[in-house]
Structure 1
Amino acid sequence: MKILDKYIIKSFMITFTSVFVILFFIFVLQGIWLFISELAGKDLDTFTILKFLSFYAPTIVPMVLPLSVLLASIMTFGSFAENYEFAAMKSSGISLQRAMKMLTISIGLLALVSFFFANNVIPRAQYKFINLRKTIVQQKPAMAITEGQFNTIGNSNIKVDKKSGDNGEFLEGVVMHVKNTNAGLGANTVIKAKNGILRSNENSNYLQLELLDGNYYESILPSSYEDRLRRPFAKSSFERYIINIDLTKLNKMENSDDDVTSEKMLTIGELNYTLDSLNINYNKDVVSFAENISVRSDWVKSTENLSLPIENKTTDLLSIFNYTEKAQLFEIVKNNLSSTEFTVMNAQSDLEFKKKNINSHWIVYYEKFMIAYSCLLMFFIGAPLGAIIRKGGVGLPMVFAVIIFITFHFINTFGRKLAQEDGIHPFLGVWMASLLLTPFAIMLTYRATNDIGLMISFDWITEPIKKIFGKYLNNNNN
């Protein structure tokens, strides 16, 4: 390796390390705010908090690493251009391609390391992170609930007025709202109790909440609209009522990109095995559903054996029944249709859920490769851009880096959400941002290596518009 290559790599790595540490610290602070409800007011020791953050920290590397590469590339090559170091290289016969050669190899090695990090370190950190959260709650069950505020646990919201006991397991003034699965109806079950006791077992994934001396209110949804306006409900009292709380749903943050899910704890090999099993089960469910509907439709096939024309079968068959029997038959048909519709809706909902689960696994699978490619992509955007704008430091490079990365992150998030809902293929959803920005990186690299600059002509867009308006104005004048 020549002295020039060592100098370029050293300059880049110093800038990259500084930027990575600063951004990493900022994103860790953001993680603290994200999990503040689990850390604040829980009497956790410093070592447990540090473990908590250390297991969370690897999950933010896929976001920090590309941004650090982008910003460091712009700052380093912008500084070279600003200080006329590139001019000195070119006067010595060293082109920009040659100056970027060894650094490109270094970024390639960094991308390779990031792939192994995403495939091995992050899944292990996710696993330890979930188990640490579960262990904290199992050792101190009352930590699942904070005094004086509603705590979301699974499909329920729980609030207590006061906690007591060595581990805060004795509760006073318990109010519990259970969410309705039907959209727009709010909480259809409200449970109030004077006292409660929290119990846990280290070998169990459930917390046991025992409520004492309370009342149970449940909203009833009648079938007719007139009865719904009366808002009927059922009320009962109890002396002892036991509820099991699933720890896997504890403090789960819906609609959060940082939510820890099971598929993120799997490596490439484990994802391949899991996806194979999920696809087999999904196909079996589709076949089973089709056969179930076919069995329900056998009465239609049986009419084919009748000698009457198809348009006369129903009329002639009904003629042998009296009015009361016809009414009963129509009621049976109505109930069968309602039952079939209910079965179809449930099967559709179940298949959609399983398809989303499969898509989530594919998204995690493709993201492991996309992380490595994003490092190379950001380098080939940042290095030429820095050479073109000829500005080092933190000011202008930071503006360009933030704009580019926000665009990349927005497209990436949009693509993942669309793929999650089965709107597009998971591969396209995960790689959408990279595929869209790759031509931009190629264009910047071409213009930088050929000293063209950043000025881009838009005549190919404006000229046709001018011609259209010119013809329109000439017609009006005539």
Structure 2
Amino acid sequence: MKILDRYILTSFLKTFFSVFIILMFIFVLQTIWLYIGELAGKDLDAEVILKFLLYFSPKLVPLVLPLTILLTSIMTFGAFAENYEFAAMKSSGISLGRAMRGLTVFIVFISLIAFFFANNVIPAAEFKSINLRKNIAQLKPAMAISEGIFNDIGTFNIKVEEKSGENDQYLTDVIIHQKKKTGGNNTVIKAKEGELVGSTDSDVLSLILKEGNYYDEVEPSDYKKRKRKPFTKSYFDEYVINIDLSDFNNVDLEDETYNSTHGMLKISELDESIDSFSVSYNKRMAEFRETMYNRSGIPNLNINYKAKDTVFEKDKELLAYFDTYDAAQISNLALGTVNSALAHLAMKKQEFKVSIVQINKFEIALHEKYALSIACIVLFFVGAPLGAIIRKGGMGLPIVVAILLFLTYHFIGIFAKNSAENGSIPPFIATWLSTWIMLPLGVFLTYRATTDQGLFVFDNFIEPFRKLFKKAGLFKDKSKSE
């Protein structure tokens, strides 16, 4: 490796790793904010929380890596231009294309690693993170009873109006429905006050109720007496209920039984799934067409009803060829068939819509693995020449420009993928649309930078209008008039 290539690569790598770590840290913090509801109040130790963040972090790479390459390219080449290092290179006969050659090889290498990462690491992390999230969701809350809602705890549904005390152990206006093994809740307990007594290392939660009533519905053997809905009522000064919480703690966080999402699959598995779903969808569509044809009653029309004349006239109504009774029967049958077909069609329409969305999601996930690696290369050829043109390094203007470009790239991709899920546009186009839009921009900026031109030459845009105004006599050339 030549000294120049080593110098450019070293400068790029220093900025690359710094930006990548900072951006990853920011997006991990955003992840914590998004999933704080799933992590808070679950009595989770630090190891489980760190494991959750470790499993979720690889899914951030398709978002962080392209932005890192774009921002690093602008900052690095902007610093070279700002410090007149490009001027020194050009005076020595080294063009911008030659200066970018070593980094181009490195970016291609990064894109290959990104492809391997998207095809192997991200699916494995998705598998781990989703299973861990499902297992965490089954854990008991740190506070077993929440205010204002019925809490399903063991064999009881408990609702409290307000909690107080240092540990929220004192309850106000308690309502408890006790569930029966056969279903229903014939026992209702109401109390003005209550107190939770328990410990973190115990599976039993004691609920001490004070000043309340106990209602129990009675089911008489006589069916007629049941309509009166008799019940027994008793009053108590203090009543203790022991609630078994063992099932809430008996959760295996290492359980990995959930494996049915597109984010967990590799390219070969996605291809197989898409093929399987497509065959199943086409088969169900064929069965649906046959079912709708049979529902129409057309195959049985000539069997059940005979026309009076087999020669049909053009302007004569179809029912006129049948007897009055048969015509009425045909009309009623047709009306019922149409209504039934419409109801069946509405139901099947929603079912097929769900199937299409599922297939589209798998196709989007397939193309995203390829798009990530190509996006890394395209955004490099957007950022590097743009940095050379704007001639600004550091953390100021390059960050603003990079964020604006990346937000444009990212939001176009999001809107396109959302449209592709419901079939508005093909998944292939939706996944590659943002990259295709950035590709001409990269070619344009590379051309402008390698030919020592600015970002825009406004004379090129103004000149056609100036000529038009000259022909119309609205513009005069001052040089000729003098």
Give the TM interval when normalised to the shorter protein: 0.7 to 0.9
In structure 2, what is the equivalent of residue 62 of structure 1? 62
Distance 1:82 1:30, change over 3 A: same
User: Are the counterparts in 2 of residues 78 and 391 from structure 1 also a CA contact under 8 Å?
Assistant: yes
For normalisation by structure 2, the TM-score amounts to 0.73
- Distance change in 2, residues 1:142/1:470 (3 Å): farther
**Residue matched to 1:445:** 446
* SS of equivalent to 2:150: strand
From 156, 163, 172, give the equivalent of 2:158: 172
User: Does the aligned pair in 1 maintain the 2:296–2:341 contact within 8 Å?
Assistant: no
What SS class does the counterpart of residue 432 from structure 1 fall into?
helix
State the distance in 2 between where 1:262 and 1:11 align: 41
Q: Compute the displacement of 1:425 (Å).
A: 1.1
C-alpha spacing 1:48/1:24, structure 2 compared with 1 (3 Å): same
Alignment of 1:274-293 (within 5 A): 274-293=273-292
Q: 1:92 to 1:58 in 2, by over 3 A?
A: same
Q: What is the identity, as a one-letter code, of the residue corresponding to 1:103?
A: L
Query: Which amino acid is the alignment partner of residue 319 of structure 2?
Result: T
1:91, distance to aligned residue in structure 2 (A):
1.3
Distance 1:403 1:285, change over 3 A: same
Using the TM superposition, give the Cα deviation of residue 463 of structure 1 relative to its aligned residue in structure 2, in angstroms: 4.0
Distance 1:23 1:34, change over 3 A: same
User: Does residue 385 in structure 1 map to residue 386 in structure 2?
Assistant: yes
- Secondary structure (helix, strand or coil) at the match of 1:412 reads helix
Q: What SS class does the counterpart of residue 93 from structure 2 fall into?
A: coil
1:269 corresponds in structure 2 to 268
Letter matched to residue 21 of structure 1: I
Q: Structure 2 residue aligned with 1:194, among 148, 158, 176?
A: 176
What is the CA–CA distance in structure 1 between the aligned matches of 2:371 and 2:282, rounded to whole Å?
28
Q: In the superposition, relative to structure 1, how do residues 445 and 358 fare at CA in structure 2: closer, same or farther (>3 Å)?
A: same
Tell me how far apart the structure 1 counterparts of residues 184 and 402 of structure 2 sit (CA, whole Å): 55
Q: Deviations over 1:204-240 (max 9, x none)?
A: xxxx9x874489xxxxxxxxxxxxxxxxxxxx999xx
Alpha-carbon shift at residue 437 of structure 1 (Å): 1.2
- Pairing 1:79-478 to 2, within 5 Å after superposition: 79-138=79-138, 140-141=139-140, 147-148=146-147, 159-160=149-150, 171-173=157-159, 194-195=176-177, 212-213=185-186, 262-299=261-298, 302-303=301-302, 306=307, 307-308=309-310, 309=312, 311-320=316-325, 326=328, 330-457=331-458, 459=460, 463=464, 467=468
CA contact (8 A) 1:174 1:195 kept: no
- For residues 124 and 360 of structure 1, the distance between their equivalents in structure 2, rounded to whole angstroms, comes to 18
Instruction: Tell me, in whole angstroms, the C-alpha distance in 2 between the residues paired with 1:146 and 1:386.
Output: 57
The AA in structure 2 aligned to 1:317 is: F
Counterpart-to-counterpart distance in 1, 2:143 and 2:370: 37
In 1, Cα distance between equivalents of 2:21 and 2:399? 16
Give the whole-Å Cα distance in 1 for the aligned partners of 2:177 and 2:142. 17
Residue 84 and residue 313 in structure 1: after superposition, are their counterparts in 2 closer, same or farther (change >3 A)?
A: closer
Residues 1:133 and 1:195: Cα distance change in structure 2 (over 3 Å): farther
- Confirm or deny: 8 A CA contact 2:379 2:438 kept in the other structure: no
SS in 2 for 1:194: strand
**CA distance change for structure 1 residues 313 and 384 in 2, over 3 Å: closer, same or farther?**
closer
**Cα offset for 1:115?**
0.6
What's the offset of the Cα at 1:148? 3.2
| Deviations, residues 114-148 of structure 1 (Å, cap 9, x unaligned) | 0110000000001001111122234x255898723
Measured on the aligned residues, the alpha-carbon RMSD in Å equals 3.5
Structure 1 134/97 Cα, relative in aligned 2: closer, same or farther at 3 Å?
same
**Structure 2 residue matching 1:93: 3-state secondary structure:** coil
- Residue aligned with 1:66, SS: helix
Give the whole-Å Cα distance in 2 for the aligned partners of 1:146 and 1:126: 32
Superposition deviation, residue 4 in structure 1: 1.0
Contact 1:174 1:196 in 2 (8 A): no
1:365 is displaced (CA, Å) by: 0.3
Aligned residues: 388
Change (3 A) 1:302 1:411: same
1:338 deviation in Å? 1.2
Question: Normalising by the residue count of structure 1, what TM-score does the alignment of the two structures yield?
Answer: 0.73
The 2-side partners of 1:2 and 1:349 are apart by 62
Give 1:416 shift.
Answer: 0.6
Structure 2 unaligned segments of length 5 or more: list them: 162-174, 189-228, 232-258, 476-482
The one-letter code sitting in structure 2 at the alignment partner of 1:89 is M
One-letter amino acid matched to 2:10? K
What is the distance in 1 between the residues matched to 2:448 and 2:74?
Answer: 15
Residue 423 of structure 1 aligns to a residue in which SS?
coil
Structure 1 pair 319–461 and aligned structure 2 pair: CA distance change class (3 A): farther
Higher radius of gyration, 1 or 2: 2
Deviation string, structure 1 residues 349-378 (Cα, Å, up to 9, x no partner): 211111111111000000001110111111
Matched-pair contact (CA < 8 Å) for 1:141–1:169:
no
Call closer, same or farther: CA 1:146–1:339 in 2, change over 3 Å. Answer: farther
2:455 partner SS: coil
Given the superposition, is the C-alpha separation of residues 269 and 336 from structure 1 closer, same or farther in structure 2, using an over 3 Å criterion? same
Measure the CA separation in 2 of the matches of 1:461 and 1:341: 61
1:424-475 deviations in whole A, cap 9, x for unaligned? 111100111111111010000011111012123475588469959997999x
CA distance in 2, matches of 1:366, 1:279: 17
CA contact 1:71–1:398 (8 Å) conserved in 2 = yes
Unaligned 5+ segments in structure 1 are 150-158, 176-192, 198-207, 216-235, 239-259
Q: Secondary structure at the match of 1:173?
A: strand
Counterpart residue type for residue 402 of structure 1: I
Contact 1:12/1:73 (<8 A) preserved: yes
Instruction: State the 4+ residue runs in structure 1 displaced beyond 6 angstroms.
Output: 143-146, 468-474
Equivalent residue letter for 2:280: N
Q: Out of 462-471 and 289-298, give the one that drifted further.
A: 462-471
For the 8 Å contact 2:81–2:391, the answer to whether it is kept is: yes
Structure 1's 314 and 365: CA in aligned 2 closer, same or farther, altered over 3 A?
same
Cα shift readout 1:84-135 (whole Å, capped 9, x = no counterpart): 1111111111111111101100010001000110000000001001111122
Cα offsets for 1:9-53 (capped at 9, x unmatched): 110011010001001010011111111110122221111111111
AA aligned to 1:342 is A
- 8 Å contact from structure 1 (residues 194, 212) kept in 2: no
Q: Which amino acid aligns with 2:20?
A: F
1:21 to 1:456, Cα distance in 2 relative to 1, 3 A:
same
